Structure 1
Amino acid sequence: MFIEYKGALRIKGNLLFFETVEDVAYGEKVLIKYQGREIYGRVAAVGEKTTLIEILGTTYGIGVEGLRVKYSKEPFMIGVGRSMLGRIFDAFAEPIDAMGPVVIEDRLDISGSAYNPAKRVHPRDYVHTGISAIDGLNTLVKGQKLPIFALSGVSTDELVAQIVRQIGAAHKKSAVVFAAIGIKHENADFFIKNIMASGQYKNTAVFINRADEPSVNSLLLARSALTLAEYLAFEHGYDVVTVLYDMSNYCDALREISAKREEIPSRKGYPGYMYSDLATIYERAGIMKEKPGSLTQIPVLTMPDDDITHPIPDLTGYITEGQIVLDRGLHQMGIYPPINVLTSLSRLMNKGIDKVHQRESNQLYAAYSKAKRAQMLSSIVGEEEISETDKKYLEFGRAFEKEFISQGNYENRTLEETLDIGWKLLGMLPDIELTRLKPEDIKRYIDGKRKQQNGTS
């Protein structure tokens, strides 16, 4: 029999300060009762005299007089099941798509389980996104966590929707879990329409938390989505990709709740424990020994003021294995997706690609870097004053941005198509400049394309 307790001290936003009772546990699910209303809550902190409870719903009209709390003696759990694919949910994993209930196969703690590092397998195998700037030069591999550092006002929504529509590991059992955190209503409608219209939707579970919901829901939604992803990956053998957008909204919610708790702030007002909190999200990815499937993460965050040293991208970069960086200059040039390949990096890409792909990628990086240097030089002295070699690089750079980086937001390129475009562009440069390639690479992949171009010109 569960006992209802009195002892509310005060309410601040969505935080309830309550007198501590015996055997209360961190993360425990509670039921808050007030004048006929019932709202779920979650224990956020336990002190000697005061327990802090996060109220998971609107607190309008709630007062401390007559308020009662019932402790469940269990952690906050959600129902999960394979029938959740092809459906849309809120932060509590409750369906919001008017398609009826889902079949619940298990109930799991949203905080997840602690993974033994010795049981982890190093990420491996290529994951297809259909985007050349990622697949060709910053390849994503199974089990990796590869964030996207976005910019406000840049076409991030379109890129995220394209990734969700197109992404998939080379496995017959693949799934996508998309978590939209603290987004506007119009953005939520955009994602729902785009994702539902794709052939991938039946293998996609969508979790949505809108901007006008309580901040604590943003923190819950990320964990609810990852709980389903872990269940699909490690219990049923799916290769799951989880896209988390926007992690800046998550961190802002964390800062807001920290301020209401009256905690001492750290950098930019964010709590000092933000690093460890983000780690509890990002580290729920990987491949496990003796477990089927894999869990790959693509967190997406908007860099405040385009500042890559801001605490959110800075701490994210420490925990994850690289970054895909969007560029405002490319966006203003009309290039989509505006991915700056020179500042982007996938630290694990070599685990998922072959040696020829590695050499082509290295050569494209080197050539584009020299092209940007030639562009800077020509802007100073004039294009007519630079060397013939620099002019070649200048021509290569323009073609690279137009043909390799740029593609349609419904254009799903195969890896072979991406590599083929790269070989064609490298053919614009003289052999003496192709120092990252082997002679057999030039003979096999480039010379034939040069002959085709000469024959058609």
Structure 2
Amino acid sequence: MTAWAPVEYTGVAELRGPLMVVQGVRDAGWDEYATIVLESGERRHGLVLDVDHDLAVVQVLEGTGGVRAEATRVTFTGSPLRIPVGTGWQGRVCNGRGRPIDGGPPIFGDESAAVAGFPMNPTLREPPAEPVITGVSAIDALTTLVRGQKMAIFAEGGLPHLGLAAQVAAQAHAGGTPFSVIFAAMGLTHADAATVRDILERRSSAAELTLLLNLACDPVIERLLTPRIALTVAEHLAFALRRHVLVVLADMTSYCEALREVSAARGEIPARRAYPGYLYSDLASIYERCGRIRGRAGSVTVLPVLSMPAGDITHPVPDLTGYITEGQILLTREAVPYPHIDPLSSLSRMMRAGVGAGRTRPEHLDLAAQIQAGLSRARQAGELAELVGESALSPADRRYLTMAEAFRTHLLAQRPDEARTLEETFERAWHVLSTLPRRDLSMLSEEALDAGYQGRT
């Protein structure tokens, strides 16, 4: 039996942006990995996007700049792109294609895995459970992140969403159980990349974090691989090595813009705002790779970060992300102190599965609901004060305005380098509620009030 030998093709028919059309191809398949050798001997790499009879459309990961079609040779490997997986990724800084840029050796592993990933068997899925403690009070108290959950951060332009994402990646933990973080940055400027590396340096040096950096000047095709490489590494750490893994994807709007650019180069018919019609399914193929598997101790939690163009939450990227994910954290200019989280527009649909007795505190859900109700009443009082003046408000309305101010200054406001424990977060939350009379806290049990209430009765 003769061994399979790759065939080298020289029939490059067209170069179109980051795409290369190769003719005369036989037996090539979708998502197949290709090696491209230029006239100078330089090697580039690509993935097959489409096959039609003897034509193959290849996306070149390094771009097609400097390529002469008549002097280029293309070889198809017969398999999809695979990367080594294992603990060798921890503590490393790589580019968007997983190549080390930290001066260290190449990354090796005992196993390899396909970057495209494999669907998780739905019959083996376990619901998200147990909290991921981020150290950010507004998240831990009101929109708790749960292991195995996918929850997005939406931000208006100009807000420090990247800084918040890096802060969460730097200080999140799973309460003493094995925990790893993978930060996949897409479309960053050099200044933003340097800031992220500085924030994450301590965790990276402790071999608890993998950083994938795709810069704005890098080839746009690389940006499409970055989140998939991050999730491939995370899946092995979680389901083979039984660790809890948090994957931060920032900024997914940059990813979607790269997808739109490739779609335009392919000549596809555009949908909403020129994004491809398959944007929803493409995003789902990334976000749905999180979760827990029955019988395995590990989990993959996904925290995508999106900047909303012009602050429009109905923009296709945040709109479709909201359909797929299980909650969102909204950053807005109206929430003045850092981290600018709007508590009334933020929601964690899995919070109930991750908090309570034995996880955080028995009164956690009721405490969060009481704060949300108080902030809602304070917003109504604030709107009324704009019409009639604060002096015309009732004493009760003024108390709720005082409670909202205590929330902003004592619970929401937090330094970018400040990691708060759960105990400190709950102490601050009780301080906020204690600005109200005890009789107004109807959502909390008498036992909880006896233990936590700090004000007058």
State if a TM-score over 0.5 links the two structures: yes
The C-alpha deviation readout for 1:88-114, integer Å capped at 9, x for no partner, is 012222211002233322111100112
1:105 and 2:107 are equivalent in the alignment: no
Q: Is the 8 A contact 1:230 1:295 kept in 2?
A: yes
* Aligned pairs (5 A) from 1:165-314: 165-198=170-203, 201-314=206-319
The amino acid across from 1:168 in the alignment is: H
In 2, the alpha carbon distance for the partners of 1:204 and 1:424 equals 35
In 2, the alpha carbon distance for the partners of 1:170 and 1:437 equals 26
The C-alpha deviation readout for 1:60-88, integer Å capped at 9, x for no partner, is 22122132211101111112220211110
Instruction: State the partner residue of 1:24.
Output: 28
In 2, the alpha carbon distance for the partners of 1:12 and 1:114 equals 32
Q: Is the 8 A contact 1:195 1:201 kept in 2?
A: no
1:423 and 2:425 are equivalent in the alignment: no
SS in 2 for 1:329: coil
Number of residues paired by the alignment? 447
SS in 2 for 1:169: coil
The amino acid across from 1:364 in the alignment is: I
1:66 and 2:71 are equivalent in the alignment: yes
SS in 1 for 2:387: helix
Instruction: State the partner residue of 2:359.
Output: none
The C-alpha deviation readout for 1:375-428, integer Å capped at 9, x for no partner, is 111111111001000010111111111111111111111112111111121111
1:358 and 2:358 are equivalent in the alignment: no
Instruction: State the partner residue of 1:408.
Output: 415
The C-alpha deviation readout for 1:241-280, integer Å capped at 9, x for no partner, is 0000000000000000000000000001100000000011
The amino acid across from 1:196 in the alignment is: E
SS in 2 for 1:65: helix
The C-alpha deviation readout for 1:176-200, integer Å capped at 9, x for no partner, is 0000011111111111111113477
SS in 2 for 1:181: strand
Shift of 1:437: 1.5
Instruction: State the partner residue of 1:6.
Output: 10
The amino acid across from 1:411 in the alignment is: E
SS in 2 for 1:16: strand
Q: Is the 8 A contact 1:399 1:425 kept in 2?
A: yes
Instruction: State the partner residue of 1:349.
Output: 351
1:441 and 2:451 are equivalent in the alignment: no
1:376 and 2:383 are equivalent in the alignment: yes
Instruction: State the partner residue of 2:401.
Output: 394
Shift of 1:201: 4.4
The amino acid across from 1:251 in the alignment is: C
Long gaps (5+) in structure 2: 357-361
1:141 and 2:146 are equivalent in the alignment: yes
In 2, the alpha carbon distance for the partners of 1:85 and 1:323 equals 28
Question: Identity across aligned pairs (percent)?
Answer: 40
SS in 2 for 1:202: coil
Task: Label 1:69 to 1:203 Cα distance change in 2 as closer, same or farther (>3 A).
Answer: same
In 2, the alpha carbon distance for the partners of 1:101 and 1:27 equals 24
TM-score w.r.t. length of structure 1: 0.95
Q: Is the 8 A contact 1:20 1:46 kept in 2?
A: no
Instruction: State the partner residue of 1:324.
Output: 329
Instruction: State the partner residue of 2:137.
Output: 132
Q: Is the 8 A contact 1:137 1:341 kept in 2?
A: yes
* Aligned pairs (5 A) from 1:28-43: 28-35=32-39, 36-43=41-48
RMSD (Å) for aligned C-alpha atoms: 1.5
Long gaps (5+) in structure 1: none
Shift of 1:226: 0.8
The C-alpha deviation readout for 1:143-202, integer Å capped at 9, x for no partner, is 001110012211222211211111111243110000001111111111111111347742
Q: Is the 8 A contact 1:171 1:239 kept in 2?
A: no
1:46 and 2:85 are equivalent in the alignment: no
SS in 2 for 1:59: coil
Q: Is the 8 A contact 1:166 1:200 kept in 2?
A: no
Shift of 1:49: 4.4
In 2, the alpha carbon distance for the partners of 1:70 and 1:61 equals 19
SS in 1 for 2:37: strand
Instruction: Provide runs of 4+ in structure 1 moved above 6 Å.
Output: none
In 1, the alpha carbon distance for the partners of 2:84 and 2:207 equals 19
In 1, the alpha carbon distance for the partners of 2:61 and 2:429 equals 50
In 1, the alpha carbon distance for the partners of 2:323 and 2:368 equals 24
Task: Label 1:137 to 1:176 Cα distance change in 2 as closer, same or farther (>3 A).
Answer: same
Q: Is the 8 A contact 1:20 1:47 kept in 2?
A: no
Q: Is the 8 A contact 1:165 1:201 kept in 2?
A: no
Q: Is the 8 A contact 2:19 2:64 kept in 1?
A: no
Q: Is the 8 A contact 1:91 1:218 kept in 2?
A: yes
The amino acid across from 2:422 in the alignment is: L
Shift of 1:444: 2.3
The amino acid across from 2:118 in the alignment is: S
SS in 2 for 1:443: helix
Task: Label 1:199 to 1:264 Cα distance change in 2 as closer, same or farther (>3 A).
Answer: closer
